[in-house]
Every structure is written in structure tokens, then in C-alpha cells.
Structure 1
Amino acid sequence: MNLTCYQPVSIQSEDRINTLKERFKKNGFDGFSACEAVELVLAFGNERDNAPRVAKPLIDAFGSLRGVLDASPEEMAEAGHISKGAVTFIRFIKEAAGEYLRLSMIGKNAVHLGRREVLDYLEFTLSGERIEKFLAVYLDSGGFVITVETLFEGTINQTAVYPRRAVEMAFKHGAASLIVAHNHPSGDSQPSESDRLLTQGLVLAGRAVDLEVIDHVIIGKGNRFSAKEAGWLDNL
């Protein structure tokens, strides 16, 4: 999806939006520029007449449709003259997409589903969050996804509280393994020393009750860190 933005000149907004809708009906977002995708989203969010004018500053500010979806209501309002209804609709789209991805994983075998798809879900859900969130994907003994739990939001005593909570929820769901993840609101996914200690605490707490920690993922803005891929879990 390229970043070319429409400059409103001769085509009326109503005609343009109808054209975009027809293109979407035929091919989805295939062939859409980032601006065109945002225009269509805005049109459905009660910005039909202003969509071309509002879309460009949003793309200029956030760079892509994903960047717009990740933006906070305050950031969107600051970037362009966008209505509260459109902001709410954009938030709804991201939440609905995240819930669709979550429900699509439940009951699926993580091996067949692919660990990469689980990581993609975690990145989609946590990228752009303004506070730290801690999630866990719980799997049964056959590797099937049981559920996804939000364990904490906000600053916590990670090394002590987080592993205990993760294990407690594993018992609740009868899980045999889990993938844990949290975000760095700064946007930088590079792990800190406390992240390394947290990973160690999770693995040791899980090992004590025969619960496997498959991975600990840190999500930034458009980037992620995997403890498994970095080899952190090999020597614990």
C-alpha cells in the first residue's frame, strides 16, 4: 500500500467515496494507497464530505493506515480536523480486528497455526499502546490455543508479580504452555535488564509446576523482540 495522497481538485467527495467503495467491494484494499484506505475509513466514520481533506494530514503524521489505527484519539485530533465519531470508528476497527484475530486462534493448534501468526497477533494488539500491557497466550498439552489473557496493565513489579500471575492463570485454564508478551510504550522493543530477569523468572516459575514458557515477546512500534529467537531460553 503506497503513501500517495489524493489532492481534492475536480472530483466531488461524494463521487470519490462512491468510487472507493466500489473498488473496495471488488478487491478489498488491494491497489489502494494509504490515503485512499484512510479516506474510506473516515467516510464510514461520518467524515464523508471531509475524508480527502482529513486523510492527508493523518497520513503525513502517522505514515500509514496502520499508523493511523495505532494513533491515540488525542494524536489524531492534533494531526487533523477529525470528528469524535470518526475517531471512535477508527478505534472500533482496530479493536474489532484484534478480537477477530484472537478468536481465530482459539482452538487452533499453534504448531499448525504457526508461532509467527501468534506473534503477529501479539504485535497487532500491543503495538501503539500508550501504557504497558502484559498478555499471555495459553496452550493445552496438544499445543492448541485455549485463550488469551490480559494479565496486567500499567507499571508493575514485573520480576515478582508477573510470573506468579501468569502461573495462576495457567492453572485456571489447565494450560501446559504459554507465550507471554508485553509492550514498550516508547516504541523501542530492545529488552532491558529487567526484561531479561522477568524472562528468567517466568521460565523458572513455570518449570516448578511443569509449565513451559515457549517465548517472551517484547513489542515496540513496528518492531518486536523474541526471547526464543535471541536464544535467551536455551540456557535457563
Structure 2
Amino acid sequence: MAEAATIDLRVGHRDRVRQRLMTVGGEAFTDAEMLEAVLHLAIPRRDTKDLAKLLLRRFGSFAAVLAAPAAQLAAFDGFGDSSVANLKIVVAAAQRYARGQVASDAPILSSWAPLLDYCRTTMAFEEIEQFRILFLDKKNRLIADEVQQRGTVDHTPVYPREVIKRSLEHGATALILVHNHPSGDPSPSTADVQMTRQIIDVAKPLGITVHDHIIIGRAGHASMKALRLI
């Protein structure tokens, strides 16, 4: 009987969380409350309030918890293979949604905030550097979004001629370059700036414009154009 009462209380609490979400929206939730609600989906048969607090203390933020490696999540009581997989499905859905906000018929330059949200969702908590290219048409609409290179924790090899070759294959007339800094600090390095200028120099004679190079870190982002580095 005690176990049945506990289950009833848990179900009742989850119903109240869902009702509150539908009434006031997710913006009214704290990170702990939102993570608890997400964990309801990932771990359907246990109380997740205390677990949400533990995870936030360990990883530091809601986004960092969702991006945490599966092996680190599995170290917490209640996280089995199924629960970790369920959580990663939530993450994949969020990334797909964010990409959908960018991949529309609207010029990408007029959707800058969704673009940054998408880049942060997909790259901010990666443990190795990756170099992503957004290929645009003459109306600055997204043609393709590709990760061209993956590197180490602090370096990604980028070859300007390969970037241009892929641009020509897509018929792109403009590019937005994006890469992440796993250290968390999005400040451009000297090597980042030099590499970007090399790509611009190769692209310009072919009529391909590099609109920006965005660097994503856990602490935010940096735009080389806004910093007047390109």
C-alpha cells in the first residue's frame, strides 16, 4: 500500500507540473523545474526532483546536463541505458527544432537570433572542436549546413580550398563559418582570424561572400564581423 501511495503522489505531482507548463509556459520554470520535467520523460518511474538538483550541481546548467556524455550521466543513480537514450532523444528533438527555425525560406541574415540558438544548441558543449559551414544562395537562404572538420579539444584543421570546393559544389554564393571552443571562451584566436581571412581571400575572386565567422563557447559567442576582425 505504501508503494502504491508513493506512485500516486508521483503521478499527481507530474500532472501538476504538466498542467502548470501548459498554463504559464516554460519561460516561468526555473532550470531545476524544467530539468525535472524533462527527466519525467526520460525516467518515467521515479521521483526526479532531487536528481535534477544533483545534475545541475554537477554540470552547472540545464544545457550542460542535456549535453553531458552518456557515460557521465549513467554514473547517477536512476540513469540506465534506456533513461540516457530517452534524454538524448529530447536533445536531438531540440536540435531538430532549432535547425528548423533556421532552415526556412527567409534570408538567414534576418534570422540571426534563431541561428545563434541553433549553433549554441548543437555546438556549445561539444568536447572537441568542430568547424561548421552554412552555405547560402544569392538571397542568403540556407542551402546546406555541414560540419566539414572535427579536430581536438583546441584545434580543428581547416583548408580554405576545401571550403571553396564544397561551396562551388553546392552553388553557394555566400557562407557563414561557425566553430566552437570547448574551453568555453569564444574569443577568436590569432589562428582563427588568419584562417578566416585566407578563406575570404580565396572566396572573393569567385564571387563568394563570407558574411561572418561565429565562434561558439559555453560562455556565449563571438562574431568576427561584429569585432571588426574581418
TM-score calculated relative to the size of structure 1: 0.84
Aligned-partner SS, 1:149: strand
Aligned-partner SS, 1:229: coil
Q: Which amino acid aligns with 1:16?
A: H
**Paired residue for 1:151?**
148
Gaps of 5+ in 2: 1-5
* Counterparts in 2 of 1:80 and 1:211: CA distance versus 1, 3 Å: farther
Q: Is the 8 A contact 1:57 1:80 kept in 2?
A: no
Q: Is the 8 A contact 1:182 1:219 kept in 2?
A: yes
Return the offset for 1:173: 1.5
Aligned-partner SS, 2:74: helix
Q: Is the 8 A contact 2:43 2:78 kept in 1?
A: no
Q: 1:48 aligns with which of 42, 45, 50?
A: 45
Residue 72 (structure 1) aligned with residue 69 (structure 2): yes
Q: 2:90 aligns with which of 79, 93, 97?
A: 93
| Identity fraction in percent | 29
C-alpha distance in 2 between matches for 1:44 and 1:204: 49
Return the offset for 1:47: 4.1
C-alpha distance in 2 between matches for 1:157 and 1:149: 15
| Equivalences for residues 1-236 of structure 1 within 5 A | 12-78=9-75, 81-106=78-103, 107-113=105-111, 115-155=112-152, 158-159=157-158, 161=159, 163-233=160-230
C-alpha distance in 2 between matches for 1:49 and 1:176: 52
Q: Is the 8 A contact 2:133 2:176 kept in 1?
A: yes
Aligned-partner SS, 1:158: coil
Return the offset for 1:98: 1.4
Gaps of 5+ in 1: 1-8
C-alpha distance in 2 between matches for 1:207 and 1:145: 19
Q: Is the 8 A contact 1:13 1:51 kept in 2?
A: no
Return the offset for 1:79: 5.6
C-alpha distance in 2 between matches for 1:103 and 1:165: 27
Aligned-partner SS, 2:28: coil
Return the offset for 1:157: 6.4
Aligned-partner SS, 1:30: helix
Q: Which amino acid aligns with 1:143?
A: N
Q: Which amino acid aligns with 1:214?
A: H
C-alpha distance in 1 between matches for 2:214 and 2:223: 5
Return the offset for 1:128: 0.2
Return the offset for 1:213: 0.5
Give the number of equivalent residue pairs.
Answer: 221
Q: Is the 8 A contact 2:164 2:203 kept in 1?
A: yes
C-alpha distance in 1 between matches for 2:109 and 2:190: 30
Q: Which amino acid aligns with 2:189?
A: S
* Counterparts in 2 of 1:36 and 1:73: CA distance versus 1, 3 Å: same
Q: Is the 8 A contact 1:134 1:183 kept in 2?
A: yes
* Counterparts in 2 of 1:157 and 1:189: CA distance versus 1, 3 Å: closer
C-alpha distance in 1 between matches for 2:110 and 2:222: 22
Return the offset for 1:80: 5.5
Aligned-partner SS, 2:27: coil
TM-score calculated relative to the size of structure 2: 0.86
Q: Which amino acid aligns with 1:217?
A: I
